[in-house]
Amino acid sequence: MDSTRVTEHPTSFDRPSTGADPTDPRGALLRTPVPPRASGSALPAQGSAGQTPPAAGEDSPGAFEHSQPGAEQAAEPDTHRPRPTSEGVPAQPDGGQPGGAPPGDTPSAGVIPGEVSAGGGQAGLVRPDSGAPTGAPDPGRRDGPPEPDRRTGQPTAPGRPTPMRRDGDRLRFVGAATRRIARGMDLDEIVMGLCRATVPTFADAILVYLREPLPVGDERPTGPLVLRLRRTDRIPAERDTEGGFTPAPQPEPSELETVGAELCEVRPGSALAEVLRGVRPVFTDTPAARAALPELLGEERDFALPDGRRAILAPLRGRRRVIGAALFLRGPERIAFEADDLLVAAQLATHSALGIDKAVLYGREAYIADELQRTMLPENLPRCTGVRLASRYLPAAETARVGGDWYDAIPLPGSRVALVVGDVMGHSMTSAAIMGQLRTTAQTLAGLDLPPQEVLHHLDEQAQRLGTDRMATCLYAVYDPVAHRITVANAGHPPPVLLHLGGHAEVLRVPAGAPIGVGGVDFEAVELDAPAGATLLLYTDGLVESRLRDVWTGIEQLRERLAATAQLTGPDHPPPLEALCDEVLDMLGPGDRDDDIALLAARFDGIAPSDVSYWFLDPEDAAPGKARRLARRALARWGMEDLTDAVELLVSEVVTNAVRYASKPVTLRLLRTDVLRCEVGDDVPQLPRLRQARATDEGGRGLYLVNRLARRWGATRLSTGKVVWFELNRG
């Protein structure tokens, strides 16, 4: 009957191939069948053809923990991938029986617990098959002088197993480890990938130090070089014992538990600075590394390092400069590092450093993009008279925070407000930059109080000046709370949805128009009723269009969702704006986020006619006195007599200035809302400016009084002239 022996190998999550894989968290011990041998012979040969196995029980200089040789045939051993010998197997006497058993003694085959192997598992002593003939020749032995060790060049003694060929195993380990490191997108994922790839397959513990702060791109760091301990990883005290795995014995207390300082400053010319400048990994038993470790780990922690070649210090160098260091550690119960392990550490350090460098660059780009997007959109919506506003913005994905969607609410003269929503084609920083330019242009045009169709016409011209391929859709609406009307112009954008107070939702019939940037297209505006209590919803196509549905299907689903939400609050109470926006976004499914989304909701409260007083005044000398009398009557009707003196003084000053230069009738309007607002309009486009009047000047003090007595005041240029307004707090 064939016997078995316990040998430790890690497994791969990537593909079922031989070789070590750092993704195995256990540093696994796999049972590998041993080819049968004749009774009375020595252990099977562990080297290739022509090599004499050295004595077992001694540390092999070529031993490597994560080796995983391929399956061997019992009758024809694989000369390209010889079977490793467990470190705990003692040398066999001539009789071939463990413990000096005579050749005729044939106990039952099995695994006898032996010494602790270098991998942390238990090795086993193999008893020969009772049916094997005594004194059979050993297939791993041959006559003649012993072959030299292929690694050390020294002749091997008869009966000693030769070291394994583990170059292929190292290559497989490095390949699997670099794949795991490369999967990380940000800094923490890359550092975690390095730690998980290394422990326990390559080392028992790892300490990763990174520069604080990390330099970005080509920028030159200022100040001293400071390294901060970013992450540590160690073999857990208990391993998985399922499937033949045994717990790894841990020394008490563990020497690796106390290694590592949180922060260290690399002094110029110090031993640590020289090691980091050398870039290549070094064993910590070298004089230079031994002198550098107290500076890295702290003077009081250097004693915790294991002796011998059980630690490797590898600098992490990015594209321009050293950005950190990694310290690989092995405990005293494990085989020491070899010279070839420096190459493995160098590969791990190189891939990790380049990944960290790219992650820092990506993080900075994402930060810039996020800041750009945030500054392009309004930070807070304005508080306008007669309308309440709410908004939402959702990027297409966390990795693509930048898009060309925008929304805006712009106060206009006469207590009106402009509602804008637009979408620049593309999802890049260029699209966001173009969006910012178009939004700024729209704000400037709105300040001129141009009609909606004229605003879109000028936006179209601006987009053509920016480039031939700068395309965007936009919807521009102006709400007048006094007239309870809304004027809408569209440039290829999805139509708005109006939710009435009773719960009925309708898609407004607005001419579609051509997108901005096409050029040579006339835009048309329509004027619609905007009843009090109704809610207007403006949105971009990312809300209603995806790979799973077309735009009109999405618009119909949006209309139904709004109607269903309104039914929950009853026919006399509209749903709260913030909750309504959340309900609208909840209609998106997992596959509906193909585009970023901008959403603007406006609740029309309006201004009641009883709260508005409006007059025309001829541009004559008697106009200021008439304006004072009209304002006094309106305040008496509203029960606001305590504001009579201030209002008469300010109205007289503003109307006097308007009559002096106007050639057409002057308008005077008082609005009672949460404040008292007075507006005086004329046909002169020049805006008044506040200035300090000299003692000898006869005029120039009117706006000074307005500035001192009014809560707020301002002047807005119109297409037909200007409006000067001021506000007073109600008593």
Report which residue type is found at 471.
Answer: M
Tokens 């990537």 correspond to: 14
Secondary structure (3-state) at 122? strand
Q: How confident is the model over 109-123, as pLDDT tens digits?
A: 333 333 333 333 333
pTM tops 0.75: no
Q: How many CB atoms lie within 10 A of CB 707?
A: 12
Return all residues near 55 (Cβ < 8 A) that are at least 6 apart: 91, 157, 159, 160, 161
Alpha carbon separation from 24 to 176, 328, 616 (Å, rounded): 11, 18, 86
The token pair that represents 490 in the structure block: 């569209």
> For residue 699, what pLDDT is reported?
64
Q: How confident is the model over 130-161, as pLDDT tens digits?
A: 444 444 444 444 444 554 544 444 454 444 33
253 preceded by a cis bond (ω within 30 of 0): yes
Contact between 356 and 210 (Cβ < 8 Å): yes
> For residue 117, what pLDDT is reported?
36
Give strand pairing partners of 410: 418
> For residue 702, what pLDDT is reported?
79
- Which class for 513: exposed (0-12), middle (13-18), buried (19 or more C-beta within 10 A)? buried
Contact between 673 and 408 (Cβ < 8 Å): no
> For residue 695, what pLDDT is reported?
67
> For residue 677, what pLDDT is reported?
92
User: How far is CA 508 from its chain centroid?
Assistant: 39
| pLDDT less than 70: residues of the chain | 1-167, 217-223, 236-261, 299-306, 397-402, 589-594, 693-700, 731
